[in-house]
Amino acid sequence: MRRPIDSLFGRLVVLVIGVLVLSHVAWFAVIRVERDQTQTRYAVEEATFLVDAVRQHIANSPDQPLPSSVHVVAPTSPDVPRPIADADTDRVPPPFARFIDDLRDRLPDGTDVRVSEPGGPPSLWVRGARDANWIVVPVQPLRPPRSRDRMLLWLAIIFTTAVMAALLAAWQLQTPLRSLAQAVGRFGRGEPTPAVPERGPRELRQLTHGFNQMVREVAQAESDRAVMLAGVAHDLKTPLARLRLRAEMMEEAKLRDGVVRDVDSMAHIVDQFLVFAHDGTDRSEPVEVDQQCERVARSYRAVAPGGQPIRTRLAAGRGFALPAATLDRLLSNLLDNAHAYGAPPIEIETLRAANGWVLRVTDNGGGIAAQDLVKASRPFVRLDPARGGSGHSGLGLAIVDRLVRRVGGECDIRNREEGGLQVAMTFPFDIVAKAADQLHVDGVLKHA
């Protein structure tokens, strides 16, 4: 099961959103603290200014009335509040206590600052060393009413914009990486791999350039090897034909039969070289796999009536279709390999699995040693040294693997638990659907 968090884009999304959430929460906390401190400083300055203004008014214009919110009270009045105690937190909350401390620091030394008793309008009582009376001024709220919703709205807008911009940047960063990963997957499956556009950061462009160069060099090496094999195999066909003709003209039957067998083995090896060197797309008409498998099995039984039995379990149906030449080469190589190194019965099976159509060929022989399974599909590798000289070049399973990958499938070679070798070829539904559609169109045209 694919999880979004496993992809580069998913992890970038989590990283970006996490960093933005932390940064915005920290920014919001800093703004709140700084705003509270700023408001406290403004309140202290405002209270200091108001007390100084009242003093100047008393000194300069004692006959003029004071504003209704400001009073002057005699020290002997019973309304004078008691001094502020440290344990008096119900009367003076901690933020207000810090405000009183800051106000005392701002006023001249010796100034007494008190707060009105609870139950009435909050007011500030101030009396300096030279003041004859208490100056009573209203207390401004340290945290005036403000629209917190508006601040949160702006925070949400900024956060959303930042997330969208970051996700766009992350998407642009991972798009070339995804293209490169897809190209690497195609290259690993042996499929044609076009050049990947070199875009993105400098390091990514360098990586893409190196990959494109590697693909070109590998393709050139494959092309050179294919040309060499095809040329050698083609040039050997004519002398082999002449050698067979001369061998059949030999008078001694035993010697003639031995030479003919050797020539046939060499011709088979040359044919394998040609098939392996062929690197073009199979343009033959698609056929139904079940029908073709049954047809090939009947032909093998007809050629060798007393040979190893071939069983079929064909359950794929009409939707499973492959190019005729590719399917014939797959079956012929696998059946030849099973006849040469396996044991009866040999079974051809088709079915529809969850991940695609499956073509499976099994035998009941000794299988392949566990340490040699990895090398089974490599070209020119003989898993049994005694197999040389019997018309086998170590290309049978390599040809099967190459043909399967060429049409977009996957080949799995393993030993069965009950004994014998199993070669399972899986073809994705979307790839097979193209061949099935072509088969349907051809069938309609033929009947038209």
pLDDT tens track of the chain, all 448 residues?
Answer: 455 566 666 777 777 788 888 887 787 777 777 777 777 788 888 888 888 888 888 888 877 788 777 888 888 888 888 887 655 656 666 777 777 888 888 888 888 888 877 766 778 888 888 888 888 888 766 555 455 556 677 777 888 888 888 778 777 777 888 888 888 887 876 677 888 888 877 888 888 889 889 888 887 777 766 666 666 666 666 777 777 777 777 777 777 777 777 766 676 666 655 555 555 565 678 889 899 899 888 887 776 655 567 889 998 888 888 888 788 888 888 888 888 788 888 899 999 988 889 999 999 888 887 777 766 666 555 555 444 444 444 566 777 888 888 888 888 888 888 888 899 999 988 877 666 566 554 554 344 4
Quick one: pLDDT at residue 104? 84
- CA-CA distance, 408 to 431, in Å (whole number)? 7
Looking at domain 283-447, its CATH class is alpha beta
Locate the domains of the chain by residue range: 4-138, 283-447
Quick one: pLDDT at residue 447? 41
Structure tokens at 115: 């707060």
- CA-CA distance, 151 to 212, in Å (whole number)? 52
Quick one: pLDDT at residue 31? 76
What global pTM score does this model have? 0.47
Rg of the chain in Å (alpha carbons): 46
Q: Mean of the per-residue pLDDT values for the chain?
A: 76
pLDDT tens digits along 347-406: 999 999 888 899 999 998 888 877 777 666 665 555 554 444 444 445 667 778 888 888
Helices 253-277/396-406 angle, 10° precision: 30
Contact assessment for residue 396 and residue 271, using Cβ atoms and an 8 Å cutoff: no
pLDDT tens digits along 140-197: 665 554 555 566 777 778 888 888 887 787 777 778 888 888 888 878 766 778 888 8
Residue 24 neighbours by CB under 8 Å, 6+ apart: 155, 158, 159
Quick one: pLDDT at residue 165? 81
